C-alpha cells in the first residue's frame, strides 16, 4: 500500500488551512518536517500542525474533514452561519 504524508497547518483564527497541504512520499522527510514546523510555531496556539498519512488527499479530506471546512451534514449540528 502506498502511504503519502500530508503536512497540514490549520489556522483556527481564520478557520482555514494556511497553505495547501505539503505532500511527502518519504516517511523520514515527513517526520522531520512535522517536528520542525511544530517547533517553528511552538508558541502560536492558533495554529494546528498535524501530519496525516493516507492513500490520497481526497481520503484525508473525508477522514480529517475538520481541517477542510466541511459543513456539518447532520441537521442537528448545523448552526445558522
Partner 1 sequence: MTGLSGTQVKNAGKVLRVWWAGDGAAPTPEIEAALQVLVRYRALHYYPLAKATMGLRSRVETVGARRDVAQRLKRAPTILSKLVREPNMQLSTMQDIAGCRAVLDSVTQLRAVQERFKTETIVRLDDYIERPKASGYRGVHLVVRYTDRHGGSRSVEVQLRTGVQHDWAVTVEQMGGRIDRELKSGEGPEEVLRLLRLASEAMALEEKGETAPSALRLAIDQARLEARPFLERGREP
Question: How does 50-78 read in b/e, with b if 16+ C-beta sit within 10 Å?
Answer: ebbebeeeeebbeebeebeeeeeeeeeee
Contact between 60 and partner 1 per CB under 8 A = yes
Contact between 24 and partner 1 per CB under 8 A = no
Among 16, 25, 29, 53, binds partner 1 (CB under 8 A): 53
- Helix ranges, 1-81 (H): 27-40, 57-63
The C-alpha cell that represents 62 in the structure block: 473525508
Task: Give contact residues for partner 1 (rule: CB under 8 A).
Answer: 1, 3, 10, 12-13, 15, 27, 31, 34-35, 38-39, 42-43, 45-46, 48-55, 59-60, 62-66, 70, 72-74, 76-77, 79-80
Amino acid at each position: 500500500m502506498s502511504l503519502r504524508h500530508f503536512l497540514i497547518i490549520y489556522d483556527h483564527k481564520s478557520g482555514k488551512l494556511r497553505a495547501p497541504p505539503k505532500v511527502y512520499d518519504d516517511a523520514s522527510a515527513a517526520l522531520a518536517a512535522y517536528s520542525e514546523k511544530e517547533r517553528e510555531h511552538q508558541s502560536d496556539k492558533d495554529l494546528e500542525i498535524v501530519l496525516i498519512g493516507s492513500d490520497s488527499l481526497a481520503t484525508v479530506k473525508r477522514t480529517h474533514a475538520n481541517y477542510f471546512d466541511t459543513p456539518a451534514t447532520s441537521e442537528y449540528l448545523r448552526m445558522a452561519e
